Amino acid sequence: MTYAPITISAKFDLFSEQWQPKVIAEMNDYQFKLVRLQGDFVWHSHADTDETFIVLHGQLRIDFRDGAVELKAGDMFVVPKGKEHKPYAATEAQVMLIEPRGVANTGDLAAGERTASNDVWV
Amino acid sequence: MTYAPITISAKFDLFSEQWQPKVIAEMNDYQFKLVRLQGDFVWHSHADTDETFIVLHGQLRIDFRDGAVELKAGDMFVVPKGKEHKPYAATEAQVMLIEPRGVANTGDLAAGERTASNDVWV
């Protein structure tokens, strides 16, 4: 049989909303998510897990309480478990997130209006 | 302080050998590895884990006993735990692998001459 690849750019074409991660694949109990980011997010952390950002298009800054990292397309960064961070993009960035299944974008599923629905596939 | 991004293309520039995965980042107990692939690999499987392939440059075919998947740059595929597979690239492909720390490229650290040194960082 012919297996289908997951074409990342084609998955991005299936949605336009920002700050709403979409799952495209799972590896064991981890998920690969795509998200469009623009503007400022909220400060948050993930108490139980590291979180990986891979920038696929545009530029992303991740602010920390003690500094920041600037990512351009083709760059990645792993935010350590428990470290407060706040993503920011001046213009829309396309980003892949990799993290365990069940992780909320705001670090807490009850964190308010910026919390996205979890486990939404595209 | 200014944190340093991991620039994937710059990491590829640091090595030229094929079939020797290099670790560039860790997330919890998972590793992100870069590898240059060309030609035919050996049939193998990973009994305890799924394995993720993201093609960054070139084209990669992953053969299975019951078919194959063709990946081009920007495509990804997760090979399920226990599924026999054999990567093949007609010309050199640059690939990111994501899998738990300690996974051997041949599925078995004692599998012979195609087994790469594990946990080599670049």
Rounded to whole angstroms, the Cα distance separating B80 from B50 reads 5
Among candidates A5, A30, A71 on the partner chain, residue whose Cβ is nearest the Cβ of B69: A5
Between A and B, how many CB-CB pairs are < 8 A?
97
Angle at A1 between CA B93 and CA A22, to 5 degrees: 65
Q: Do B7 and A75 touch (CB under 8 A)?
A: yes
Buried b (16+ CB within 10 A) or exposed e, B92-121: ebbbbbbbbeebbbbbeeeeeeebbeeeee
Per-block mean pLDDT, blocks of 10 residues, chain A (122 long): 96 98 98 98 96 98 98 98 97 98 84 86 96
Residue A14: predicted pLDDT: 98
Averaged pLDDT, B45-68: 97
CA distances from A71 to A100, B8, B27 (A): 22, 11, 17
A13 Cβ under 8 Å from any chain B Cβ: no
Query: Side chain identity at B119, as an amino acid letter?
Result: D
Rounded to whole angstroms, the Cα distance separating B101 from B14 reads 21
pLDDT band at B63 (very low <50, low <70, confident <90, very high): very high
Within 10 angstroms of residue A114's Cβ, the number of other Cβ atoms is 12
Q: Hey, what CATH class is B17-100 in? A: mainly beta
pLDDT band at B38 (very low <50, low <70, confident <90, very high): very high
For B82-111, the pLDDT digits (tens) are 999 999 999 999 999 999 999 999 987 666
CA distances from A108 to A84, A99, B55, B74 (A): 13, 14, 33, 31
Query: Side chain identity at A8, as an amino acid letter?
Result: I
Residue A112: predicted pLDDT: 76
Q: Do A67 and B3 touch (CB under 8 A)?
A: yes
CB A67 within 8 A of CB B88: no
Among candidates B4, B24, B28 on the partner chain, residue whose Cβ is nearest the Cβ of A49: B28
**A18-100: CATH architecture:** Sandwich (2.60)
Q: Do A69 and B30 touch (CB under 8 A)?
A: no
ipTM: 0.96
* Domain chopping of chain A, boundaries: 18-100
